[in-house]
Structure 1
Amino acid sequence: MQNDHKKRKKEKRSVDKAELVAARNALPIAKERDNIIKAIRDARALVIVGETGSGKTTQLPQFLYDAGFAKKGMIAITQPRRVAASSIARRVAQEVGVQLGNEVGYSVRFDDKTSHNTKIKYMTDGMLLRELLGDKLLSKYSVIILDEAHERTLRTDVLFGMVKGIQKVRQDLKIIVMSATLDAERFASYFDGAQTLFIPGRQFPVRVFNAIDRQEDYVDAALVATFQLHVDEPPGDILVFLTGQEEIETIEKLLKEHIHELPPEAMQLLICPLFAAQPAAQQQKVILATNVAETSITISGIRYIVDTGMAKVRAFNPKLGIESLAVVPISKASAMQRLGRAGREAPGCCYRLYTEEGFNSLAQVSEPEILRCNLANVLLTLKAAGVDNLMEFDFLDRPPRASLVRALEHLYALRALNSKGELTPEGRKMAEFPVDPSLAKVLLHSKTLNCTAEVISIISMLSVETVFFSPHDKREAANEAKRNHLTLLNVMRGYQAVKGDKDWCIQNFINARAVKNAMEIRTQLESFCENLGIPPNASSGNEVEPILQCFVQGFFQNLAVLQVDGSYQTFNGKQICHIHPSSVLFGKRMSLILFHELVQTSRQYMRSVSSISLAWLQGTGSHYFTHGQGSEQ
């Protein structure tokens, strides 16, 4: 009987392997394998334009590995998002037939699944950028593939300039830029006239349906469209594009509440938020996703797309020195990417919750992140990697001078740079932490005030998705539970005390998955602190003042003063803003507050807010303000 069991397992593995091989051979990129290998052998840089579903991200590294390119060093494939890097690596490890972390692995912030055997390494663009701190020529890599180049993230743009410079020194380094759009000439020209290859993708037609009228509430419209598709159209999975976790959780709850209203003959509906791993089942799925599903991850079985036409983006105002998060319309290129997620395995449909006129009014492409984001983090990394003259750096799109100057001023305010723009010893330590420079400053200062344990906990909680959830039918109880917690620190302490008990999380409206992730990040940050000589277990006990004083050191530019009408005015830029309704301080009047971020919706809201004392500001940032910077800029 045991032999029969082993035989069946072996037969199943053979069938699975055969299915994988057949699926790989059916991908459009399989026909171009020989052409691609020849082009890479002949050229030092190559641009590959592969439509959605062409298989470029999973197959190209395997082509290179099989052709022997990994004998001279690892093959790196960068991704803009950590969820893409980890999930794609798992898929490729399965296809190669190895355990994840051996020949195929991934490296993302706070999570590394690689070993000395790793030859194909998926990683976020930020992780490759950080590797430059210790290896300025990226000498352990023979091929660097910059994937999803069309997304033009801040770190990918910086990597373009870095690897281009490295290739001038390393004649053996191969650079491959992969994009899902037709803006190939731009990339090819930047890399000194690199050859361009085009790979077809979507193989089936996709019908497009636009809304007749403008939708005031696109979340509600998405809910209605999802149920209509599920009831009226032939079986097939539905992919709904939303702007963030809060919207995803809102629709997830509403779908579950109304499932019982479906006709008896309707198929069961399996609801899958993209950030939650769900087992495959014989049910029709509705996948609720952010724009991570536009290009980074290919999901099989998708027949229907519900496109809200919106995305959440970060924007930085260099004049005011304030970064905010806003929901904005997508570009035409993004709309086409979303449409392309259907039609890979069968004819599909795309339901746009905006009018045809609305589509025509969209921008052609999304604005590159480097033109609208705070540059402080990447400029600090570049300084630490040996780039002295940042104004002369070879950017694909040069950021506005005001943004560069503001970022350098910010680093100077944090004492990461001196008055000559040179990296300070403190700045070098700050660059070692995989967090924003302001948070790195807080961590460094925690050693002085003996509260590193508490600071690490809070920063870990700030590094994950929403920690609290508020069910529609229990919103008052959820808000009351939140008030009893007071701070993110107390949430983590409570979670540790009950050893992650799920019932405790449910009773207190805590997102258990988010806190579990924060605990893992906490462990990683502890090791970074130990490496820099900061005792990670140093604790202030129950004293709150030292902890808040630490955060003032990193965020003294994020201060706001109470106004007569109950609103607040920021020190920097004199912006009128309000405490976010989700905050424990909402509805209270505090004379001076410190905030972590601004969110732009119907008005400017401050998130992660704390009340502080004016006395704590004495001497903080004095070198910055006395040089004529700060609130008047």
Structure 2
Amino acid sequence: MSKYDRIQDQREGLPTFEYKKDLVDAIREYSILVIIGETGSGKTTQIPQYILEEMPEFEKIGVTQPRRIAAITVAKRVSEEQDVRLGSTIGYTIRFDDRTCNATRLKYMTDGILLREATLDPSLKQYSVVVIDEAHERTLETDVLFGLLKETHRLRPDLKILIMSATLDVAKFSDFFDECPIFEIPGRTYPVQVVYPVDAPRLSTLKSAFVDRAVETAWSIHTNEPEGDILVFLTGQNDIERACKAFEEKSRKANYKREVKFHQDVHNAVVYPLHASLETFDQRAVFELPRRGDRKIVFATNVAQTSVTIPGIRYVVDSGFVKEKSFDANTGMDALLVTEISQAAAIQRAGRAGRTAPGKAFRLYNEESFNHMSPNTIPEIQRSSLLSTVLSLKKLNIVDVLNFAFIDPPEESMVRNALKQLYLLEAIDEEGKLTKLGDQMSYFPLSPSLARVLIASAEEYYCSYEVVTIVSILAGDLDLFKTPRAKDGEEEANKAESCKLKLAHHTGDHMTFLNVWKEWKRHDKSKQWCKENYINAKVLEIASNVRNQLMDVMEKLKLKIVRGPILKRKMKSSTGKVRHRRVGENDHGESTDPVPVLESFLTGYFTNIANKGAHRSVFSHYAPEEHLSSDSSTNISSTALVALHLHPLCSLSNNLDRNNLQYSELDWVLYSNITYTNKAVMKGVSKILWDWVKNGKGQERIKKLPSTRLNGEAQPKIEELDLEAEKKLVEQEEQKKELEKIENEATKKRRAEEIDMIKQRALARRRTGA
């Protein structure tokens, strides 16, 4: 049997195949359809193919995924099933990576990509069918798409919209889309047995020990269960690396031939990590089938929880925790904290065990904890910064963002905070309308702050050639420098620190990134050079692709790409001795002037400023509103009370005097973002001068900041105000007259009663006298 025939047999064995005709008929009949099916039923891979194969009238199908790795792996799988080259009929598009062509009919993409396309074309003319997959994940972009697609459907009733979800509250999706029909695909590919250990604790007491328990449980499965790979859900890179190390040590000490407890078909363990920071090659390795007799053990974040299918998984270990990002509008910080998962997430994780064979899901917590979990994960839109989202809505001419049709509206304070930030960045005006600058910013697949930086570097500071490089590295949101693992020892850590020192620029991270880029290019983009200098080659490779795309956008917007001013150092001393070239310099001793580069970044991040108090090792956020207030003792923001620390990989951390733990030569700094784990940490930090802050446009913008109306609420005119006041006076007069009338009637009644009483008394006296 050929590989293609084997794949077709697998397709026919999926639950969706049994309902293929009914699905096709339902899609033809209804313009909006909610499809529910358990994990492993084949929704993600098969339903788009049914449309492709059975409905040639639909020219292009767009399918969204919540994560980039899911979009790539699913597109690859579907192209294999269709027996076509990836990037031809079947393709994918993720941020800064487009594998499609004019002939592409089925396109997998992240929900963020479709959101950008909807921003530029609200009617989504290029698509006949739009499929929102993994809707239960409730990502920020997905929730916004729901509202936009509802409006798009009014513009284009012929557009087919499919909402696909694994389980649980799909009725909410149906209700949102005017009670559209729900198509249910019963059953999953294979049954999954959920196992609760006898001694399993509650989640609240498990938190400090879940990594060790996960390793022990995985080892127990490895030694006692038949062949089949194991997927272990942990919370982050550090936990995963620690777990991998612990499991590898156990496996190294074990004697697979002599120890009876191992299953006869299991001869070895191959351990893999899976998280977003991995090199692309290492991510791909997870999806390869192991050699016969080897058992694959994968320690992963919840990147493996959705559409990503790792072949051969029969056992899942669920720790019950996830590292979740929550944005605090009051402090402007992202809190990255380990929290309990929801019931929906637990069910989704268990489903990973039933994709290719009957499986088991081992939960490290007890059944009572599961019953007390929140039914659904809190939608990302209610715990994220809405800056990019609000800008996208403004681009769509949605002025009144507060009343936009969100399926679960975010807090009003979050929306107003985003409006305020966009106003400060000059993206919207006092009435909440998109400015010309805001329109330019919306074309960049970046945060509004980084987009503002790029525009400023081209139009004001004339150093866009350098700034676009730094922005490209920052856009990846991954650490450029590698941190050696604990098992590598102190010597390895010292080497990594020395390499960072060698490449660091005295002003901080932004110019250090530029130094690294220049040296990488000087060494012909060598991966070996990256390895020797503890640089994450993946970050630079992604940045190279991002940089090309950003330069294309700048060219379309007619933003000039110009090199910044040069600082020149004499390469010969007064004695005639030739000096060595420094890092970041060319052979003539020329380097980039950091001042215009850092001033460009200050344009987009002038609210992200901190200063270090005298004799202190921590920084404090600078809140311009406080300094502009006549009474500095009032209106102190909560951010100002938080101690800010430099990230361990920050190039300015070299300024730490180890003897008295004070940072030398640091006063004012600019940062890209703050993340809170066990303390508030600044990332993307560079030194700046107070004069740049004091004389910057941002301060003037803050002074003009209107207290209300940024959402575009109608401003009442003076005549309207006068009319309103007159109306109120008339109402007051009418009320007064009504009261007087009531009082008069009461008085008349009282007087009548008094007269009646007097008459009665008079009659009584006459009778007595008689």
Q: Which of residues 585, 595, 607 in structure 2 aligns to 1:545?
A: 595
Amino acid at match of 1:341: R
Structure 2 residue aligned with 1:84 = 70
For residues 206 and 543 of structure 1, what CA distance do their matches in structure 2 show? 63
Q: CA deviation at 1:356?
A: 4.3
Alignment of 1:34-183 (within 5 A): 34-68=21-55, 70-183=56-169
Structure 2 residue aligned with 1:622 = 699
Question: Closer, same or farther in 2 for the Cα pair 1:619/1:468, shift >3 Å?
Answer: closer
Question: Closer, same or farther in 2 for the Cα pair 1:261/1:512, shift >3 Å?
Answer: farther
Amino acid at match of 1:277: R
For residues 539 and 390 of structure 1, what CA distance do their matches in structure 2 show? 39
Q: Which of residues 491, 495, 501 in structure 1 aligns to 2:526?
A: 501
Question: Closer, same or farther in 2 for the Cα pair 1:270/1:523, shift >3 Å?
Answer: farther
Amino acid at match of 2:470: I
Contact 1:204 1:345 in 2 (8 A): no
Question: Closer, same or farther in 2 for the Cα pair 1:135/1:57, shift >3 Å?
Answer: same
* Structure 2 spans left out of the alignment, 5+ residues: 258-265, 505-511, 566-590, 624-638, 657-662, 708-770
Q: CA deviation at 1:537?
A: 5.2
For residues 33 and 615 of structure 1, what CA distance do their matches in structure 2 show? 67
Q: Which of residues 306, 320, 324 in structure 2 aligns to 1:295?
A: 306
Matched, 1:469 2:488: no
Alignment of 1:276-355 (within 5 A): 276-278=283-285, 279-282=288-291, 283-355=294-366
SS of the counterpart of 1:206?
Answer: strand
Amino acid at match of 1:625: I
Structure 2 residue aligned with 1:10 = none
Contact 2:192 2:350 in 1 (8 A): no
Question: Closer, same or farther in 2 for the Cα pair 1:595/1:229, shift >3 Å?
Answer: farther
Deviations 1:405-429 (Å, cap 9, x if unpaired)? 1111111010011111111111111
Q: CA deviation at 1:249?
A: 4.3
Amino acid at match of 2:284: A
Amino acid at match of 1:469: K
For residues 100 and 355 of structure 1, what CA distance do their matches in structure 2 show? 44
Contact 2:329 2:417 in 1 (8 A): yes
Structure 2 residue aligned with 1:219 = 211
Contact 1:413 1:623 in 2 (8 A): no
Contact 1:73 1:142 in 2 (8 A): yes
Structure 1 residue aligned with 2:549 = 524
For residues 303 and 521 of structure 1, what CA distance do their matches in structure 2 show? 38
For residues 437 and 236 of structure 1, what CA distance do their matches in structure 2 show? 46
Contact 2:228 2:313 in 1 (8 A): yes
Contact 1:215 1:353 in 2 (8 A): no
Amino acid at match of 1:422: K
Moved more, 392-401 or 434-443: 392-401
Deviations 1:342-366 (Å, cap 9, x if unpaired)? 1333332323344445444432211
For residues 82 and 131 of structure 2, what CA distance do their matches in structure 1 show? 19
Structure 2 residue aligned with 1:566 = 617
For residues 495 and 369 of structure 2, what CA distance do their matches in structure 1 show? 40
Question: Closer, same or farther in 2 for the Cα pair 1:466/1:346, shift >3 Å?
Answer: same
Alignment of 1:261-276 (within 5 A): 261-265=253-257, 267-274=267-274, 276=283
Contact 1:206 1:343 in 2 (8 A): no
Matched, 1:414 2:414: no
Q: CA deviation at 1:246?
A: 4.4
* TM-score, normalised by the number of residues in structure 1: 0.92
Amino acid at match of 2:611: V
For residues 4 and 547 of structure 2, what CA distance do their matches in structure 1 show? 39
SS of the counterpart of 1:349?
Answer: strand
Q: Which of residues 378, 385, 392 in structure 1 aligns to 2:396?
A: 385
Deviations 1:222-243 (Å, cap 9, x if unpaired)? 3443334323332211112233
Deviations 1:563-615 (Å, cap 9, x if unpaired)? 35422221243132222223232333522222222222222222222222111
For residues 647 and 217 of structure 2, what CA distance do their matches in structure 1 show? 30
Matched, 1:594 2:670: yes
Q: Which of residues 630, 640, 643 in structure 2 aligns to 1:576?
A: 643
Structure 1 residue aligned with 2:734 = none
Contact 2:335 2:677 in 1 (8 A): no
| Percent of residue pairs bearing the same amino acid type | 38
Structure 2 residue aligned with 1:11 = none
C-alpha root-mean-square deviation of aligned residues, in Å?
2.1
Q: CA deviation at 1:37?
A: 1.1
Moved more, 486-495 or 208-217: 208-217
Structure 1 residue aligned with 2:684 = 608
Structure 1 residue aligned with 2:439 = 428
Question: Closer, same or farther in 2 for the Cα pair 1:249/1:420, shift >3 Å?
Answer: same
Q: CA deviation at 1:458?
A: 1.7
Contact 2:424 2:705 in 1 (8 A): no
Q: CA deviation at 1:142?
A: 0.9
Question: Closer, same or farther in 2 for the Cα pair 1:137/1:328, shift >3 Å?
Answer: same
Structure 1 residue aligned with 2:234 = 242
Aligned pair count reads: 616
Question: Closer, same or farther in 2 for the Cα pair 1:215/1:379, shift >3 Å?
Answer: closer
* Structure 1 spans left out of the alignment, 5+ residues: 1-13
Contact 2:564 2:593 in 1 (8 A): no
Deviations 1:170-227 (Å, cap 9, x if unpaired)? 1211111011122111000001111111112252232323434625143344344333
Contact 1:451 1:538 in 2 (8 A): yes
For residues 353 and 539 of structure 1, what CA distance do their matches in structure 2 show? 56
Structure 2 residue aligned with 1:29 = 16
Moved more, 598-607 or 394-403: 598-607
Matched, 1:230 2:280: no
Q: CA deviation at 1:390?
A: 1.5
Question: Closer, same or farther in 2 for the Cα pair 1:262/1:610, shift >3 Å?
Answer: farther
Amino acid at match of 2:253: E
Alignment of 1:444-463 (within 5 A): 444-447=455-458, 448-463=460-475
Amino acid at match of 2:621: T
Contact 1:72 1:142 in 2 (8 A): yes
Contact 1:215 1:354 in 2 (8 A): no
Amino acid at match of 1:509: Y
SS of the counterpart of 1:399?
Answer: coil
For residues 462 and 611 of structure 1, what CA distance do their matches in structure 2 show? 17
Contact 2:196 2:365 in 1 (8 A): no
For residues 542 and 592 of structure 1, what CA distance do their matches in structure 2 show? 21
For residues 215 and 232 of structure 1, what CA distance do their matches in structure 2 show? 26
Q: Which of residues 380, 383, 388 in structure 2 aligns to 1:372?
A: 383
For residues 355 and 300 of structure 2, what CA distance do their matches in structure 1 show? 18
SS of the counterpart of 2:298?
Answer: strand
Contact 1:592 1:614 in 2 (8 A): yes
Deviations 1:487-514 (Å, cap 9, x if unpaired)? 2222222221112323222221122223
For residues 74 and 592 of structure 1, what CA distance do their matches in structure 2 show? 52
Q: CA deviation at 1:339?
A: 1.2
Structure 1 residue aligned with 2:721 = none
For residues 240 and 273 of structure 1, what CA distance do their matches in structure 2 show? 10
